[in-house]
Amino acid sequence: MPFQIIRNDITKMKVDAIVNAACPTLLGGGGVDGAIHQAAGPELLAECRTLHGCQTGDAKITKSYQLPCKWVIHTVGPVWHGGSHGERELLASCYRKSLALAVEYRLESIAFPLISSGAYGYPKEEALEVAVDTIRAFLKEHNLDVYLVIFQKSDYQLSKGLVEDISSFLNEAWKEKKDAHAREEERLDSVSAELESMYLEDRYPEWGLPPCPWEESRRLKKPGIQGRIERVELQIERVNYNETHLGDFFVDSKREEPFFSELEESFSHMVLRKIDEKGMTDPECYKKANLDRKLFSKIRSHADYQPSRATALALGIALELPLSELQELLGKAGYTLSHARKGDLIVEYFVKKGIYDIYQINQVLFDFDEPLI
């Protein structure tokens, strides 16, 4: 995943470079700046003295000393003065200049704090928007693992209206699930009664079918809907078992059809077919999915590739599949969207809204403490 938002202490990030939200003198300060200098030791301050400060929007690089990363990139963010003094461009420049240094030094990974969102007063929601927009634009042209590191939940803030809208969607979905639960109990009563009449060894005792190979102890007596589901599953298993022992009595015409004619399209084949149908290139697809080129090459090269759940979801989002086709794609990888998962409901919310921005989806997943895709 080339770009991730994570909750961590940036001084503990084991990446090629971390970015320090520095003051213009580069001689240390409070917040992230002070924490990085303290963790790196006095050698960092000594090297920073030789740099003679840094202009707002610019970036300079030093060694990391006692930090677990290899380099520290120092950038000076703008102080917020209401947004009419070029703050957005200066903040975007901090990210661009830092990323450019990472490329110049041939680094493979870099971790940013949310620059200017602390003592410099830049509104967190707007600072986040600048960070994400600038980083994603850069990643369209470069291959680099980028982390946006949030130290605590209060450092991260989404639009109140968006959070309320998604929360309302989640509440409605859970209410629907509760109602569906009640309907399922009624359906299972009906199915159970119907299956009872389908016991073949009861209907055809003269055929001498062998007994079913499960013990009475498996006839679970769990209360509620879960117990009913398990009993129905046992009934289905019994019917299926009996049917396999009636080969001498029935001829299944389907068995005469060639096996390979019934093979389903694989996950990889469906992804590649959808890319062609939408007129996309491979890079357009995997970059939009926030996936690494090497990972995508495995999907391209191996027809039986088994993706992670997050990868399957990311590709479905990148391909802008409607909900039914997204479910189909996930099914080919052995997964499904479930209303039992808050994260899945959030993904469903965006798909139903026709919003296929994986960065925005991940921002919301992060805010709701759900795994990113």
pLDDT digits (tens, 9 = 90+) for 177-220: 666 666 766 776 676 666 555 544 454 455 454 555 544 444 44
- The answer to whether position 176 is within a domain reads no
* pLDDT tier at 156, thresholds 50, 70, 90: low
* Dihedral sign, Cα of residue 93, residue 99, residue 105, residue 106: negative
The string of pLDDT tens digits covering residues 283-322 is 999 999 999 889 999 999 998 999 999 999 999 999 999 9
**What CATH number is given to the structural domain containing 118?**
3.40.220.10
C-alpha pair distances (Å), 57 with each of 22, 90, 101, 119: 11, 5, 13, 16
Residue 168 is assigned to a structural domain of this protein: no
| Residue from 83, 200, 73, 178 nearest 130 by CA | 83
Instruction: Show the domain range for 296.
Output: 267-367
> Number of folded domains in the chain?
3
pLDDT of residue 244: 55
Burial class (CB in 10 A: 0-12, 13-18, 19+), 138: buried
Is 181 part of a structural domain of the chain? no
- Segment 120-125 mean pLDDT: 91
What pLDDT shows up at residue 373?
A: 86
Mean pLDDT along residues 252-264: 52
Residues 107 and 64 in one domain: yes
Query: Is 178 part of a structural domain of the chain?
Result: no
The secondary structure of residue 11, as a DSSP letter, is: G
Final residue before a domain boundary, out of 252, 283, 314? 252
240 and 271 belong to one structural domain: no
33 as an active site residue: the answer is yes
Residue 192 lies in a domain: no
Q: Which amino acid is at 118?
A: G
* 19 and 75 share one domain: yes
43 with 148, same domain: the answer is: yes
244 lies in the same domain as 320: no
| Active-site annotation holder among 16, 33, 145, 367 | 33
325 domain residue, yes or no = yes
Q: Decide if 220 contacts 227 (C-beta within 8 A).
A: yes
d(CA 297, CA 311) in angstroms, rounded, equals 13
| pLDDT score at 366 | 85
Give residue 154's pLDDT: 60
- Please indicate, yes or no, whether residues 214 and 334 belong to a single structural domain of this protein: no
pLDDT band at 363, cuts 50/70/90?
confident
Domain co-membership, 151 together with 293: no
